[in-house]
Structure 1
Amino acid sequence: MNTRFAPRLIALASAAFFTVVMLSGIDSLAAADGASAYIAQSAAAAPRA
C-alpha cells in the first residue's frame, strides 16, 4: 500500500467504524474509544513507518 494514502484510509476506516457503532446503538462506548485511540495512534505512527 502507498504510505501516503495510509493515514487517510485509516481515518476513513475509523470514521466508518464510529458511525457503525453509533448507528447500532452500542452502549459500550469505552470499547469504541479504546479502538479509536488505537487507530489514532496507528495513524500518527504511519507517516514515520
Structure 2
Amino acid sequence: MTTTQHTTFSEIRDADRQLTLFVVATSALAACGTLIAGMLFAMGAGA
C-alpha cells in the first residue's frame, strides 16, 4: 500500500470533489421531485 502526501492542492481538489458531489446530489433530488410532481399533476392529483 502506498502512502500519499496531502498537499494544499489535493485538499482543494477534495473540497471541489465534495462540492461537485453535493451539486449532483441536489440536482438529482430536484429532478426526482419535479418528476414526481409532474406525474401527480398528469394523474390529476394537482387539480
Q: What TM-score bracket applies, with the shorter chain setting the length?
A: 0.3 to 0.5
Which has the greater radius of gyration?
Answer: 2
TM-score, normalised by the number of residues in structure 1: 0.46
TM-score, normalised by the number of residues in structure 2: 0.48
